[in-house]
Amino acid sequence: MGTDIRGFVECRLDYREHEGGSFWHAAVDSDHLKVPRNYGAFGCLFGVCDNEQFAPVAPVRGLPDGASIRVRDGHETTAGRSASWVSWEEIKRIDWDEESVFPDAYLREYRRDPQGKWQSYRRNCHVPQKFIDLCG
């Protein structure tokens, strides 16, 4: 079973939501972005499914202070899930070329797309740690 990250892009408003006392508005639900699962990004941003051992930018922080009603209500419906958030300033400072501490423990299968370029097709079986240690 795979892991997905759900969330919202919130924008700051010049007025408070009349019910929630928040300056924030849930402008975009991440479901609408149709972003595929990307465990490397999940690990880099939040330390979730971190096969590559990145230092997470925003490990579990809980919901941000003053989150919009929609975000608070959405989190309540996913009880048992960890919450975190990341600011646009933090995202802009990410070194997207950072190397992981360890190689990820999966074999990757690549296939050529219609234009002849190699594309990641899927991750295959988990490689036992003893083989990673041998290659270390």
How far is residue 76's CA from residue 32's CA, in Å, rounded to a whole number? 20
CA distance linking residue 92 with residue 31, whole number of Å:
22
- pLDDT above 60 for 101: yes
Top-confidence residue, 117 or 48: 117
Task: Give the H/E segment covering residue 8.
Answer: strand 8-12
In the prediction, which pLDDT does 120 show?
81
DSSP-derived 3-state class of residue 111: strand
Beta-bridge mates of residue 112: 118
Expressed in angstroms, the distance from the first to the final Cα of the chain is 29
pLDDT digits (tens, 9 = 90+) for 50-94: 666 677 888 888 888 888 888 888 776 555 567 888 888 988 998
Decide if pLDDT at 2 tops 70: no
Q: Where are the beta strands (DSSP E) in 30-117?
A: 106-112
